[in-house]
């Protein structure tokens, strides 16, 4: 397990490409489920720790577990579908499983890093937005790097594609949660 985590860490550091990620179906599924569970855990902590009280009754506002899970699954599905489409357009469909596993594996590590900082961020509220912004920039950079390698395009194009996929993923998950 340690070599896999180190591989994802090397990708997060932009030192290794997605072409070295295992593509067995069971492994891809494991990474997707682990990413979902980690995202749910971190989102749950955020909803409990940083939820604002409702002015009407003083209760905490936040998303339910089902709404949170729906948003995460829709976001993951959108990311996977748009990644598949981009790879199809560039005629690199055979790279889909390695690319999607690298995307979700690195997202898992970045989410875990952010989750590990939440106790400290609850003590220093002023740093919350800055840390979130830095993690978002890191996440988009890693996603752009992975797409740059998978699509064989310039890094700047990979980052632009990553921004587009991320915006679409967030938009689709917001639509799914709002309904």
pTM: 0.89
Consecutive H or E run containing 4? helix 2-12
List phi, psi (to 5°) of 175: -65, -40
pLDDT, residue 157, reads: 97
List, for residues 78-104, the tens digit of each pLDDT value: 999 999 999 999 999 999 999 999 999
Q: Give the least confident one: 54-63, 75-84, 164-173.
A: 54-63
List phi, psi (to 5°) of 68: -65, -45
List, for residues 130-146, the tens digit of each pLDDT value: 999 999 999 999 999 99
* Dist. CA 95–CA 93, nearest whole Å: 5
Beta bridge partners of 53: 60
Which residues have C-beta within 8 Å of that of residue 92, sequence separation ≥ 6? 150, 151, 152
* Dist. CA 130–CA 141, nearest whole Å: 16
């Amino acid at each position: 397990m340690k070599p896999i985590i180190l591989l994802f860490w090397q990708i997060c550091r932009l030192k290794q490409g997605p072409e070295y990620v295992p593509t067995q179906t069971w492994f891809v599924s494991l990474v997707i489920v682990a990413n979902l569970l980690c995202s749910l855990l971190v989102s749950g902590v955020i909803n409990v720790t940083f939820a604002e009280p409702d002015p009407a009754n003083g209760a905490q506002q936040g998303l339910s577990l089902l709404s949170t899970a729906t948003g995460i699954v829709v976001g993951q599905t959108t990311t996977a579908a748009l990644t598949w489409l981009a790879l199809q357009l560039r005629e690199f469909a055979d790279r889909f499983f390695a690319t999607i596993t690298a995307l979700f594996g690195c997202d898992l590590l970045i989410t875990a890093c952010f989750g590990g900082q939440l106790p400290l961020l609850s003590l220093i509220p002023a740093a919350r937005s800055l840390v979130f912004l830095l993690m978002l920039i890191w996440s988009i950079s890693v996603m752009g790097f992975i797409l740059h390698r998978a699509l064989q395009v310039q890094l700047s194009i990979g980052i632009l594609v990553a921004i587009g996929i991320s915006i679409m993923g967030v938009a689709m998950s917001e639509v799914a949660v709002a309904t």
